[in-house]
Amino acid sequence: MALTTTDLHGTLPLIAQGKVRDIYAVDDSTLLFVATDRISAYDVIMKNGIKDKGKLLTQISKFWFSILKDICPNHLISCDVSSLPADVLQYRDQLVDRSMLVRKYKILPLEAIVRGYLTGSAWKEYKTKGTVHGIKVRDGMQESEAFDVPIFTPSTKAELGQHDENIHPSEAAKIVGEENAKKIAELAVKLYVAAKEYAAKKGIIIADTKFEFGVDEDGSIVLVDEVLTPDSSRFWRADTYELGKGQDSYDKQFLRNWLTSNGLAYKDDVEMPAEIAQKTGEKYVEAYEQLTGERWSS
């Protein structure tokens, strides 16, 4: 059974619900992130969820936070539910393997997207304008072709129910300030390159990804939210990669393709057929197992 909402019955105050995560306040400096099995595509949440998706996202994020901690500090304190207040533990069935105790930081309202390959909305823009987020890139590129160097292509961070908007990197400074925008761009590309090189050894191409950052009390940039999951990234199979076409993905592109082919992209109140939910879930499991080298056991 998919867990699409959580209820801790007032033991902790629920302060926000995102597309996937329910966020609870533990104290003034600590939050509890609980990844549900909700799934969204084209910024719209599906009516039904995907069993264990939240657990997979949490464990993949935990994996990457450990690998990337020397490049950028992050907000993770623990994924062990035993570190939570005693009165919350009665709801451990909603929390085990899908919750993160994290430090509370001021969140910078910017989606820090890094693209290594020409695909998705970038491919659509390139075909008509020869640009990506307004950035002029090399002529004559094909779909799914690698950029000469990864490029930072931010977007606005929309409120729930709204759509993110692709922006030119120069616009980022207007949102988070020039100094923060520069630091975010540099860190995001550095994180992407490190992850891309690691994943390549595991037979996965990370085509693009989205990071989110906060600032601590000293003004230092901190990596927050989820990181390099199938929800925030495009993972391609390296052994089937072929230039000039869409790729076999480990991410929710499978769901996006189904929505598009059925004229349901950006539509509200869509319920996935059981087969689509199952096949999409299998992609998440494949991504986890391929990246970590461990068998998934729910």
| pLDDT tens readout for residues 223-273 | 999 999 999 999 999 999 999 999 988 888 789 889 999 999 999 999 999
C-alpha distances in Å from residue 79, one per residue of 9, 31, 32, 73, 74? 21, 12, 10, 16, 13
Q: Which residues pair with 208 in a beta bridge?
A: 115, 234
User: Residue 57: CB partners within 8 Å, gap ≥ 6?
Assistant: 20, 35, 98, 226, 229, 230, 231, 284
Q: Are 185 and 151 in contact (CB under 8 A)?
A: no
Which band of pLDDT confidence, cut at 50, 70 and 90, is reported for residue 150? Answer: very high
Residues in the chain: 298
Q: How far is CA 93 from CA 28, 60, 126, 170, in A?
A: 25, 19, 46, 45
For 250-281, the DSSP string reads: SSTHHHHHHHHHTT-TT-SS----HHHHHHHH
Looking at residue 129, its amino acid is K
Q: Give the residue ranges of DSSP H helices in 81-238.
A: 120-129, 169-176, 178-200
Fold classification of 107-250 is D-amino Acid Aminotransferase; Chain A, domain 1 (3.30.470)
Under the banding of pLDDT at 50, 70 and 90, the label for residue 214 is very high
| Beta carbons within 10 angstroms of residue 74's beta carbon | 22
30-64: b (≥16 Cβ within 10 Å) or e: ebbbbbbbbbebeebbbebbbebbbbbbbbbbbbb
Instruction: Please report which residue ranges of the chain form alpha helices under DSSP H.
Output: 53-68, 120-129, 169-176, 178-200, 253-261, 274-292
Nearest to 33 by CA among 58, 70, 56, 69: 58
CATH architecture of 14-104: 2-Layer Sandwich (3.30)
Phi, psi of 86 (to 5 degrees): -60, -40
* Domain-wise residue ranges, the chain: 14-104, 107-250
Closest to 45 (Cα-Cα) out of 278, 264, 195: 264
Q: Using the 8-state DSSP alphabet, how is residue 88 labeled?
A: G
pLDDT at residue 161 greater than cutoff 80: no
pLDDT of residue 142: 98
DSSP 8-state class, residue 203: T
Residue 73: pLDDT band (50, 70, 90) is: very high
Is residue 2 pLDDT above 60, yes or no?
A: yes
Confidence of residue 154 (pLDDT cuts 50, 70, 90): very high
Q: Distances in Å between the alpha carbon of 289 and those of 250, 278, 293, 294? A: 11, 17, 5, 5
- Put simply, whether the predicted model's pTM sits higher than 0.85 gets the answer yes
What are the strands, taking DSSP E only, across 59-160?
Answer: 76-78, 99-103, 106-107, 110-117, 131-132, 135-136, 146-152, 155-156
Is 289 exposed, middle or buried (CB count within 10 Å of its CB: 0-12, 13-18, 19+)?
A: middle
